[in-house]
Amino acid sequence: MSKIKNLIDKLLLIVTGILLTVMAILSIWQVIARYVLNTPSTVSEEIIRMLLIWFSLTSAAYVFGQKKHIAILFIREKFHKKTQRIIEILSNIILLIIAIVLMIGGGIQVVNLTLSQVAPATGISMATMYGALPVSGVFVAFYAIHSLTTSDITLSENGSEVL
């Protein structure tokens, strides 16, 4: 499972890196087109918006998998190590449910609703843009399952932490 996680980590890093690079290039083109050529590019603006959505959701999934997301640690750290582990398990279960129900299930419904809609400047299906939600939901669900099945912290019988 750790090999799969490492592959997914690399995949998400590569994808988000490409998305960020393309957004930067298109943004530069947009500025040049608007201020140098005096012909604003509506196509690049629309593509940047779509790429930003994909970038945000896929990088959020990556950050979740690295456990670098925003967390209220000072509350959890006030508890005993066993209680901290229980809180971590419960939060991963809740996040797994949210990823499956809202991100994947709801995302698929939104994609289905927007299949016939197209973006005005590019003609790209809006389902392409909203497809980022279920895709990132799959990654978040994977990371939550990975976190539930593997743990960096194990507790001895007396509750002390063993690494």
Question: How much is the pTM?
Answer: 0.82
Would you state the pLDDT for residue 69?
A: 72
H-helix or E-strand spanning residue 90: helix 81-98
pLDDT digits (tens, 9 = 90+) for 15-70: 999 999 999 999 999 999 989 998 888 899 999 999 999 999 999 999 988 887 76
**How far is it, in rounded angstroms, from Cα 54 to Cα 128?**
10
CA neighbours closer than 13 Å in the CB half-sphere of residue 41: 18
pLDDT digits (tens, 9 = 90+) for 73-125: 677 778 888 888 888 889 889 999 999 999 999 999 999 999 999 998 888 99
**How far is it, in rounded angstroms, from Cα 30 to Cα 25?**
9
Residue 72 has pLDDT above 80, yes or no: no
